[in-house]
Structure formats: structure tokens, C-alpha cells
Structure 1
């Protein structure tokens, strides 16, 4: 697709993922062994797109430091930094000077999806659309804005969250823009595509088309979603050519050390140099590089930041352990507990059920 560029918007601060995002931008968080963004870029490359523009802001230098000019990933990457938040529409307009192609695939950088990008672009071409939206069907659309369409797939409206949604179709955070449409977005100020750009196009009778499917889709905005998305990548439920190993119940990264009698299942990832002690159990766990799980510890559906430690006999279920933090022996953490970086929780069977 030589006439298609890609734009990935990665400027958000990821506040819902703190404390993990205190030291890393959300798209750079380790997910199934590599930065989350690497999985999206692998799908973009597989679709035949070679030129990518990253719209950055928060910790912008971490993106260029890892991905460079893109050549190692089979891509050509440009970087554009937002001096202040511009919203989705403003972020798209901000990268316009770097675009070369007639059509532009645009992605929210915090969505894990499995849709066929080539098919989305084909829908855009066949419909001679000004903008095409990827819509995904979800079992419960009440938590999302809905996007109804007519029998030809043309978008009719953009509706706010409601307890009685008229459709199960929601905005999946992937679009195809005709290049000329991007130039009509106001420059130099915040713009929302959902509240301003798309409704304005409908009012002007522009062709706003939908590509609807039920492919894998997950917003990676919360720790639970990050852990589940990583596990789905490891188990092959979400597609990615960037996975640094075969799909299965566990992914062990380079120099990871797992005791022979430890049980590691549920799509767990054990990061570079991480250690899992004798008799420990991991189920759907995400261990960043250098993390340690002690003997007999039980870690389920949780994420351990870089260098974090869960000591022997501790039990961690549905929790977030920040970089370098220590969970003492026989501690119990449950249901959304977040331990801030370098905090040390004492040993002795203490149970925590709120932020530590």
C-alpha cells in the first residue's frame, strides 16, 4: 500500500496506568515481552504500509530511542512532538506536514486489536470515502459511545454513552482519512474527532464510511487491560508478529530464570532477567525486566514493574507493583491494589486492599 501512510497517536500520559507510567509512556510499557507499540507497528508493516508518523508528547524521547528511524522494524518512522495536548483531531492535524500519501491510517496508540488492516483500507477505497472508521461489535456497548450506520455502511451519527444504546457498534480507534480531509482540521488548537471533526463531516454530507467486524479488540488503558492484553498476545488470541517467542501458556524472555517446580500459566510473561522461585505460581501475570517472585509466592492477573519483588509466600491477585517496590513475605494484595515505586511493604501476613 504505497499510497497509504500510518499515523499513531502516542502522546497521552497514561494516568490510569500509574504508577507504571511514571517512568514510561503507556505505549512503551512491556507487553508480552516488547513495548506495546511494537505489536501495533508489526501489524502496520504486515499490511504493507512502510511510512509511519508517531505523534508524541509525554516522554517523547523514549520512542525515538527505542525505534530509531524504523529501519530495524522494516519501517520509516518520523516523530512529531506536541508542545501541549491537542486531542485526537488536533494531533492528526499536527502531523500533517510529514504525510506523503493520498490516504492515511490513523491509530490510537493504546488499543490492541486484531482486525485486518488491509480490509479496512479496501472498505475505504471501495466506498470512495472521505473518512472510514473501524467499528467493533461488543457485547455491552453501554460503556462506550455508539456509532450507528445505515444498510450501506455509511455512518449516521456519533452518540454519547447511554444505558440504552441503539447499536452494539463502537469506535475502535482506527481510521482511514483521505489526506485532503486532514488539511481541513483546525490547526494549532485541541480538536476532538468524535465531537467536532466527524460530526462536522456528517453535517457537510461528506462520505463517512464504517468497516464493522467482531475482531479482537481491547482498550489498554487500565492495569487489568494491560495484563489481560499481554496474556492474550502470549496465548495467540491477539495477533502480533512482534512476539519474541512462540505462543503458549507462558513467554520466558532472555535470561529469565524459572524454578523447575514453579507453575507459569495463563499467558504469563517473565521479563528479561526476571526470577521465579521454587514452588511459585504465576497465572496471567506480567513481570517486567528484573522482577523477582520468591519461593512459594502466588501472583495472578497482576503486573510487577522493573526490578519489583514479591517475597516468599506472598499472594498478589489483581494488583500493580511499581518499579523497584518490595512486597514482604506472606503479604496479601487484592483487587486493584497499587504499590508505588520503591515502596517496601512489611512481612508478616498483612493484607492490603487499597493503594499502598
Structure 2
């Protein structure tokens, strides 16, 4: 969008520990996990760049150094990236206040760093400007809003209230974790203490009559916080259901790095991803699975809706279904891990050592 670069800073909150994705996040921040061929955060940065925003501030905390080591000043992505470290947990509001000194513009677009989205970022900024809003929230309409906080709006798009999870929600509009602030609103947030935008800042703004608006759409949206959502989000990127500039023209049933090897008769589908130097044995079957770099999967193994971390080995005829296998783990032949099983890094399981069915 022409001229957008002069309109806003982009701020991405990436300080969380990603505990729901352990053991994948034991040593790696969640936004840096390989997702459809690149660290997850890279897909969001590419969307920000394509929307015309060029200055990005990363609000980091857990393993903060990993982000700067990978992205540097952002020039390889056509961006200027600054880093602000949060030394103690400050909540969403405190994290946003913590980056105020790095801002350059009067309009600030804030992203939750673990959300995979597909909305038109320029359209949200347009809504914010045309409404002369103090804060604009991206609201997504979902089929079942009961698991989320709901945000009803009036006919003019003004936010009426913020509702906690309820079994009888009055609207299908949920908070999608993307906000546009006037800079003065951020600078008015109390400094140096933990504070929640959803529970404290936004309700307080409504109470004093501030202009809080919603930008409502049906765009793609997924919180990537659990293994099941991580796998589904990666698959949706590969298949083109979720948009990413990084994958333009490369959509399909699988995304296989050119340095990986795939044996004869192996089947890869469901938006599966195979990382650098990985080896997939003859007759193996991968469905909606994320295979990190350097993984070896034996002949005839079946891996479905699972994440196999870097350097792990899956033995011949093993079955891995809805599971997470940690970095460098060694799963023996004919083992079975299903239904939410998680294997920690470096653990070795002997051939046939864990099964959920009789050994035939």
C-alpha cells in the first residue's frame, strides 16, 4: 500500500516462553520454530513488509539474543528492526509500554508474535484512520467464540465491551491479537509494572469514553500455541490456506527442502514439511507433519499430525501420531507414540520399547 511506511511502526511481542509447545521451546523461542520452511516469525515480518511498513520493533524476553542473531538489522528482509528486551514479565500492556522509546511514528501497529493471520494489514490501518480512533482492534469472526474473549461492536464499529470466555457469547467477534494504537495511548500506560491490555487498558479506555474501534473480518486466524495448532498452521501455509509472501507460487501437499532425501514409495501429503538434510525412508508416510532439519525417518514409518524436532531419529515401521518428538531423540523401530505423547530432547527408546497396540 503506497505511503504506508510513513503511517506506522510495527511492534511484535515475542517474549513468551511457549510452555504449551514444550519440549520444542526448551531452547528455542516459539516464534523462531521452523514453520513451512522458515522461522514462524519470518512469515509475519514478510507480511508486514508487503503492507509497506518498514520499521519493526521486537519486544523480546525469553532467549532474546536468538532473534537478533537471526534477523540482525532486518535489511535482508527489507526492514529496519530494533530490539527491546523485557527483563521481567510485564504482561501485554507492560510489554507494549516497554517499547515506547523505540517508536518513530504516531501510529503503532502491535502484533502478538504467536498468531498466524491472513488479514489485510493496510485495511486495519485505514479503519483506524477513518474512525480517528485512539485504538483499533482486529476482530475475527469465528464459528465457535466460546473459547475466546468476545468483543461486541455497535453499528459504527465502536467497541462496546470486552467479555471474558462465556458459554453464551453475544457475538462471534473475537480479539485477534492485533491492535493499532495512537502513540499517546501507549505512552500513557503505567511504566514498570505488569499490566494487561485486555483486562485493564482497554476497559479503562472504554470507561473514559476513548474512541476504541473494531476492524471486523473473516480472515484466516490461528493461535499457534499448541502442537495441534502449530501443525495445522504450518500445513495451512504449505497448502496456501494461510497466506505468506514467502511461499508465493510454492503451494502443494508437501514442502521438501532441496537438500533432503526421500526414499522410493514414500508418501508426503497434508501440507507436510521436510527440513534441510532430513532423510525419509522408503515407503514412509507423512501426513500433516513438520519435520525439522537433520531428522531421519526409517522405512515404512507412519508419522501423522506430529512435529519431529531437529536431529531426531524415527526407526523403521514406527508409528507417530499426534505427538511431539524432541530434538535429538531416538525412537526405535516399531515404537508407537500417539495421542499427545511428548518425548523430551535426547531421549532414546529401544526398538519396540513403547507401544499402544499388541506387538505383531
Same fold (TM over 0.5): yes
CA contact (8 A) 1:34 1:244 kept: no
Structure 1 position 45 matched with structure 2 position 49: yes
CA offsets 1:119-148 (integer angstroms, 9 cap, x no match): 000000010000000000111111111101
The ranges of structure 1 where at least 4 consecutive aligned residues each deviate by more than 3 angstroms after the TM superposition are none
Number of corresponding residues: 353
Report the Cα distance in structure 2 between the residues aligned to 1:201 and 1:109, rounded to whole angstroms: 24
Q: 1:134 aligns with which of 133, 138, 154?
A: 138
Report the Cα distance in structure 2 between the residues aligned to 1:143 and 1:196, rounded to whole angstroms: 20
Q: In structure 1, what is the equivalent of residue 190 of structure 2?
A: 186
Q: 2:155 aligns with which of 151, 155, 160?
A: 151
CA offsets 1:270-304 (integer angstroms, 9 cap, x no match): 00111100000000010011011110000000000
Q: In structure 1, what is the equivalent of residue 345 of structure 2?
A: 341
Structure 1 position 118 matched with structure 2 position 139: no
User: How much has 1:200 moved relative to structure 2?
Assistant: 0.7
CA contact (8 A) 1:34 1:243 kept: no
User: How much has 1:259 moved relative to structure 2?
Assistant: 1.2
CA contact (8 A) 1:292 1:310 kept: yes
User: How much has 1:350 moved relative to structure 2?
Assistant: 3.0
Structure 1 position 281 matched with structure 2 position 285: yes
CA contact (8 A) 1:138 1:170 kept: yes
Structure 1 position 220 matched with structure 2 position 224: yes
Structure 1 position 242 matched with structure 2 position 246: yes
Structure 1 position 60 matched with structure 2 position 64: yes
Q: 1:3 aligns with which of 4, 7, 12?
A: 7
- State which drifts further: 300-309 or 243-252: 243-252
Structure 1 position 317 matched with structure 2 position 356: no
Give structure 2 stretches of 5+ with no counterpart. Answer: none
When normalised by structure 1's length, the TM-score is: 0.98
Q: 1:142 to 1:208 in 2, by over 3 A?
A: same
Give structure 1 stretches of 5+ with no counterpart. Answer: none
CA contact (8 A) 1:283 1:301 kept: yes
When normalised by structure 2's length, the TM-score is: 0.96
Report the Cα distance in structure 2 between the residues aligned to 1:260 and 1:76, rounded to whole angstroms: 45
CA contact (8 A) 1:320 1:339 kept: yes
Report the Cα distance in structure 1 between the residues aligned to 2:125 and 2:224, rounded to whole angstroms: 24
Structure 1 position 331 matched with structure 2 position 335: yes
Report the Cα distance in structure 1 between the residues aligned to 2:353 and 2:303, rounded to whole angstroms: 15
Aligned to 2:56, the other structure's residue is in SS state strand
Structure 1 position 76 matched with structure 2 position 55: no
CA offsets 1:320-352 (integer angstroms, 9 cap, x no match): 000000111111111100000011112126325
Q: 1:262 aligns with which of 243, 262, 266?
A: 266
Q: In structure 2, what is the equivalent of residue 17 of structure 1?
A: 21
CA offsets 1:179-232 (integer angstroms, 9 cap, x no match): 111111011111100011100100110000000011100000001111110000
User: How much has 1:3 moved relative to structure 2?
Assistant: 2.1
Q: 1:203 aligns with which of 201, 207, 211?
A: 207
Report the Cα distance in structure 1 between the residues aligned to 2:109 and 2:322, rounded to whole angstroms: 35
Q: In structure 2, what is the equivalent of residue 272 of structure 1?
A: 276
RMSD between superposed Cα atoms in Å: 1.1
User: How much has 1:242 moved relative to structure 2?
Assistant: 2.0
Q: In structure 2, what is the equivalent of residue 106 of structure 1?
A: 110
Structure 1 position 296 matched with structure 2 position 300: yes
CA contact (8 A) 1:33 1:244 kept: no
Report the Cα distance in structure 1 between the residues aligned to 2:186 and 2:354, rounded to whole angstroms: 55
Report the Cα distance in structure 1 between the residues aligned to 2:338 and 2:250, rounded to whole angstroms: 31
Report the Cα distance in structure 1 between the residues aligned to 2:266 and 2:353, rounded to whole angstroms: 22
Report the Cα distance in structure 2 between the residues aligned to 1:102 and 1:53, rounded to whole angstroms: 14
